[in-house]
């Protein structure tokens, strides 16, 4: 019997994948390189979202201290991008 291969996500050049978890309500605006919105609006406490888009991604997070972010599966430190409770930054492919 042939062993089943695990599912592999296709590699898309310049694509960045984000996973977000919210420990409190937070405003989110994430746009792809073409300006299209990937995620926009008020995310609620205990909500989780995943998005992917072509880099560079533009990210704005309100109440950023309540957001846990992973970029391409790796934890991402929001602290250097925060001013008060708002984080604003750009993500390139391969960071």
For the stretch 3-18, pLDDT in tens is 565 544 545 668 999 9
Buried b / exposed e over 15-49, threshold 16 CB at 10 Å, is bbebbbebeeebebebbbbeeeebbeeebeeeeee
**Interval 42-66: pLDDT, tens:** 999 999 999 999 999 999 999 999 9
What local confidence, expressed as pLDDT, does residue 11 receive? 55
CA nearest neighbour of 22 among 39, 1, 2, 3? 39
pTM of this prediction? 0.84
d(CA 89, CA 74): 17
Average pLDDT for 77-90? 97
Mean pLDDT of the chain: 90
Higher pLDDT, 15 or 2: 15
∠ CA 18-10-57 to the nearest 5 degrees? 30
What local confidence, expressed as pLDDT, does residue 3 receive? 55
């Amino acid at each position: 019997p042939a062993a089943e291969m695990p599912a592999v996500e296709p590699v898309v050049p310049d694509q960045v994948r984000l996973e977000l978890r919210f420990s409190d309500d937070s405003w989110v605006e994430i746009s792809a390189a073409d300006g299209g919105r990937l995620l926009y609006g008020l995310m609620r406490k205990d909500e989780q979202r995943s998005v992917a888009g072509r880099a560079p991604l533009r990210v704005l997070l309100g109440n950023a201290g309540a957001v846990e972010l992973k970029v391409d599966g790796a934890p991402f430190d929001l602290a250097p991008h925060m001013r008060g409770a708002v984080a604003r930054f750009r993500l390139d492919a391969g960071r």
